[in-house]
Amino acid sequence: MIAGLLAITILVGVWKKADIFEAFTEGAKEGLHNAIQILPALAVTLTAIRVFESSGIMEALDPLLSPLASLLRLPQGVMPLVLLRPLSGSASLSLLSEILTRYGPDSRTGLVASAMMGSGETILYTCAVYLSAAGISKSRYIVPVALAGWLTGCAVTGLLFPE
Amino acid sequence: MNAVLCMMLLSGVVYAGLHGDLETVSQAALAGGTDALQLVLSLMGGFMFFGGVIRVLEASGVISALVKTLRRPLRWLFSGELEQEALEAVTENLAANMLGVSNAATPMGIRAAKAMSRKGGNAPSAALCLFLVINATSVQLLPTSVLALRYAAGSADPERVIFPSLIASAASTFLGIVLCKLMEKRRGKG
């Protein structure tokens, strides 16, 4: 699919007479920049995730998370991602990489976590940026509605990768 | 996020301290930075590749074609409440977000939010709420960083999650839109 995307991109580029080399280089530069830019945030969040997990507190929290997991019909291992995804993009990226390493990218947990990550956004950050730019301090029903959407998306990924 | 971070770090250390397992936590804390560097290295290739592809698409006019396609359905969705400038900014923001060009999406989104709140007041209008909910439930067509991570993790079929992720994303955005419309209707009555 990615190979196809690449072929189509190049064909469309040639057809529209775009300077493909120039544009691709420019985009790659931005990608490189983005990757370096998130490094400090990844370092902090990965440290926090590692400390949290290695302390064994996660197992102690299981009784709290498992009702929500069974309500949404999701594997237990993705629950931290359900909670973290709406809060922070870099933290959830760190967490996803942890999940993929621990459970394997092709396990049910790994598949659900990946699809989930791709179907969500950093709800709180998005709202904060746009509302404060517009000089608005109230958010009315935006956050609860977006969270409801997120949980629905999570439940849907669970259904799409049945046990 | 600050609070969550502090809570995770503190509760981790305290919990491990209570169980006499501080050594593991110290090791984990120091490993965090190294792991982050490895993570970034494995993401970098994917980031550069997708960044390049998207720029080529942009240079070929794909974003403006998407903007044209989206204009009419969006006007309908916002039930004609938007002025021309706001509608343009909303459309361009969503088109950029669908392709995952967040650098281009954010300034457009800010312009849209400003244009939609010009009437003043401290609370966001129905249109702004709807716009933010659509943004916050993700409209990205291709989850590029997830794909980069899955390739890096050595998945046998990294692309297997593309379609499910799209369906889940559509479901969450759809539910978000429906709830927004319901909230406004309820308010209209009450």
Rg, C-alpha atoms of chain A: 19
Over residues B101-142, the pLDDT tens digits come to 877 888 899 999 999 988 777 889 999 999 999 999 989 999
Q: What is the pLDDT of residue A1?
A: 81
Q: What is the pLDDT of residue A126?
A: 87
Q: What is the pLDDT of residue B103?
A: 76
* Four-residue CA torsion sign, A147, A42, B166, A125: positive
CB–CB contact A152 B175 (8 Å): yes
* Four-residue CA torsion sign, A31, A34, A40, A42: negative
Q: What are the angstrom distances between the C-alpha of A65 and each of A77, A162, B27?
A: 10, 20, 27
Which amino acid is present at A163? E
Q: What is the pLDDT of residue B189?
A: 66
How many angstroms from the chain centroid is the CA of residue A120?
Answer: 6
Longest dimension (CA), chain A: 59
Exposure on the CB side of residue B16, measured as CA atoms within 13 A: 22
Say how many residues make up chain A: 163
Cβ atoms of B35 and A46 closer than 8 Å: yes
Tell which residue, B18, B39, B1, B24, has the closest CA to residue A51: B24
Provide the chain A residues 62-81 that lie in CB contact (below 8 A) with chain B: none
Cβ atoms of A154 and A74 closer than 8 Å: yes
Q: Give residue limits of the domains in chain B.
A: 45-189
A58 touches chain B (CB under 8 A): no
Chosen from A52, A58, A147 to mutate, greatest number of chain B CBs within 10 A: A52
Cβ atoms of B32 and B68 closer than 8 Å: no
Which amino acid is present at B56? V
- The partner residue sitting opposite A94, judged by closest CB among B21, B39, B103, is B39
Which amino acid is present at B14? V
* ipTM for this prediction: 0.91
CB–CB contact A118 B161 (8 Å): yes
CB–CB contact A137 B122 (8 Å): yes
**Nearest-CA distance from A61 to chain B in Å?**
12
Over residues B159-176, the pLDDT tens digits come to 999 999 999 999 999 999
Q: In degrees rounded to 5, what are phi and psi of residue A17?
A: 55, 40
- The partner residue sitting opposite B123, judged by closest CB among A45, A55, A136, is A136
Q: What are the angstrom distances between the C-alpha of A18 and each of A13, B57, B64, B122, B156?
A: 5, 9, 14, 45, 34
CB–CB contact B51 A27 (8 Å): yes
- Give B31's contacts in chain A (Cβ within 8 Å): 50
Give me B65's structure tokens.
Answer: 């074609």
Answer yes or no: is pLDDT of B14 > 60: yes
Which amino acid is present at B7? M
Answer yes or no: is pLDDT of B190 > 60: no
Residue A108, judged by CB atoms within 10 A of its CB (0-12, 13-18, 19+), counts as middle
Provide mean pLDDT across the span A117-139: 89
Task: Pick the residue from chain B with its C-alpha nearest to A156.
Answer: B168
Longest dimension (CA), chain B: 64
Neighbours of A65 (CB within 10 A): 17
Q: What is the pLDDT of residue B28?
A: 87
Provide mean pLDDT across the span A73-85: 93
Over residues A19-59, the pLDDT tens digits come to 999 999 999 999 899 889 889 988 999 999 888 888 888 88
Q: Give residue limits of the domains in chain A.
A: 39-160
- The partner residue sitting opposite B149, judged by closest CB among A100, A116, A148, is A100
Q: What is the pLDDT of residue A113?
A: 97
- Give A62's contacts in chain B (Cβ within 8 Å): none
